[in-house]
Structure 1
Amino acid sequence: MKCINCGTDNNLKDRTANNGRCKQCNHPFAFEPTTMGNVKITDPMFSKILADISGNNTLYFTPKQLLYFLDSRIRKKGFQTAGFLGTYLFLNIWVTGFVGGITSAFLPNSFLVANLLYQAATIFYLFNNTKSSKLTTASRKVSAKNLRFLGIIILVVGILASLFVFNSFPLFSSVVILGMLSIFLGTRQLGKGVNLPQEFLVTQSYVDGWLKTWQQINGKIDKVLPAPQEQIAPASINPDVTAYSFDRLVVCDSANIAQLLIANNFHFENNCAVLSVNGYPQSIFETTMEMLRRNPNLQVFALHDCSPKGVSLVHRLRTSENWFLNSAVKIIDVGLLPRQILANKRGMFVQNVAALAKKSTELPLEVRQTLSNEELAWLDAGNFVELESFSPQMLIKVLRSGISGSLNLESDDSSMILIGDSGNDIYMVESFG
């Protein structure tokens, strides 16, 4: 492992002999991958993750975004085609020779039986990978493709061997069944591996602990955001400022996302106010709302998790006296919406909680009527996706794209879909990223 302070490569013997410090500059290592179990983190890897998520230390991020980002990097080290092929060929020979040799004393055709059992076990392993919550969508797709590839190998090699080497019909039948089964399962799972529920490989408490250790050794990370603080007392704002308004308002369903956007100066760079639906930042909430209500051409952008609470955000903005009840303001639902997730072929980090299934079925009728049957089935199953599963760069890009697309809402070329009645217009962004 290389030292991030001086770049010297230290092997395990070096690190152990120097009590976890660099042999060259004596700088402590924050991680020792050999003691971390299945999830192995190195100092250079963690340093690269911090640089990437912050855009080389230019963007603020939340601890939960770091959890998702780190988890994604770990998963990307999962199943790859080249690694599978080499391992498959090696074990194909080794298992056949080892198991077949042991059983040859009492099992006729032991080497053939051992090889067929190995092919069946490999098919079972790959099939389980296509459904695994521990792998990324990309890795599950690779497993499905490898299932089809394996099926072709079994058919070609197996049929030739059964006809011209062993002249055996039972062997011919076995390899055809295994090969066709592998191809069938791979083809079927290739279309099912997108947006399946996933589980974290690490927990937030682990990441928080790693952050604490890292900062003790390498100094404070300025771009990681603390939990949003409630400031009840109204802030003092210059009357000259309050005389103006904003052209746009971004409403988030969580204070964490609102804080993230504000910390990254999204409001300044895009001439918009940023608030959370629960009133963050509390110190300027009422004053900001007074300013916003003075603009008859105000556009409101809703940014939320894909969850029962999230998809009801627009409905709350339309029906709450604290927001825009009896107002003709245009509201653009940027997302996340179930249809955006279902249409995304690259896959998102979908989670599943049984308690959310009940909350979904209890959504107001007005909300459920805006969703398709497929979307409702997805939500009613307890699925959800959090905005914090996306990097700061991605969230800012998506929101900017939504604002840009709102400039021609009435045009036939608009990327927005009208889902409200005339005079009560609600628009939806078709895709999220």
Structure 2
Amino acid sequence: MNDAIKAYANLKRPFACIDMEALDWNISMVNRLTGDKKIRVATKSVRSVDLLRYIAERLPNHCGWMTYDCEETQFLLERGFNDLLIGYPQMEKEAIVLLIPYIANGSKVVFMVDSLEQISLLNRIGEGFDVNIEICMDINLSTDFKLLYFGTQRSSLKNIKDVRELIVKLNDYPFTELVGVMGYEAQIAGVPDTPVAKWQKPLVRFLKHNSQKKLGTYRKDAVREILEVCPALRFVNGGGSGSICFTSRAVEVTELTIGSAFYFPALFSRYDQAPFEPAMSFALRVTRKPGDDIAVCHGGGYVSSGAISADKSPIPVWPKNLSLLKNEGAGEVQTPLLDKDRTLKIGDTVFFRHAKAGELCEQFNEIHARRGNRYVKTFKTYRGDGACFL
């Protein structure tokens, strides 16, 4: 991080920053690991228009974007983005209607569905505007081991019977067209191989291994069933940054959604197969020294979403041998640290990695980029563009 200190010497703390050499490496590894599969970039893991473009330009197999909200989708459409798969069901009629003019003018926007209620709303809107609305069926690949539900609570389509029951009713909604299937293996892509409680590691490995067998069979069968009714299916989406190797081998999958791998946040360092480099970080200033082994930084309360646990907190990474205090953690206006080497002084800089990827962008207007010890440029975040979604 000595290069970072030099590159950012004149910046006001706190700030968010990105190592462009690490980002380039991560992009190259995504290209290598995904093979001939197409790549859809998860926008919520990047949340910067210019960085989204930068990444896409370096992905030969880039095929589009996975967005997370109607308003974000409109925001990107206005900036020339196309082929947008909204990764989560949308039930706000007014927000959906805002996308209709873009669809009518030829933009590719696909809505995620897993129930008739969602399809019915989209069909009514399509009928009202005489526009065909494309949809993607989200099948639930979580594994129910009876005594343990391994995965996420998302789609209601948990088995082939559920899929069949939905497929046979699609003809009742003539203003919607099924063009894609998504099978996101959250329990593989979103569960670190090394949990905070290290004793759980063998259990996690066992569950992942057994889950892979079951979800692979279910996804293949579901795609086969759907193709019989919709032979013109355009894509089968799967994967995530934590399951690139596994999903790239799935013959039924045509494209992978990748996001976190580009920034490679702290949570992903807990995965066994993750040949990426930390690219994104943030810096705080030391403003207090209440003890020889305690340093207090200004700001820093950038805790990530999800179940409350230690792995959702930011991690101090430079200087070394720093750690959060268990009784205080990362605070909104100040973050005390245990300084085991007793090296920090008032005025020093501490660099942290956020637990997740794009969520850090909600805290900053800009991301400052460097190559080695040379300051390169500034990228605006969504927030810097005056946008806030969800």
Q: TM-score, normalised by structure 2?
A: 0.26
Larger radius of gyration: 1
* Greater relative contact order (Cα < 8 A, sep 6+): 2
Instruction: Kindly indicate which of the two structures has a greater share of residues assigned to strand.
Output: 2
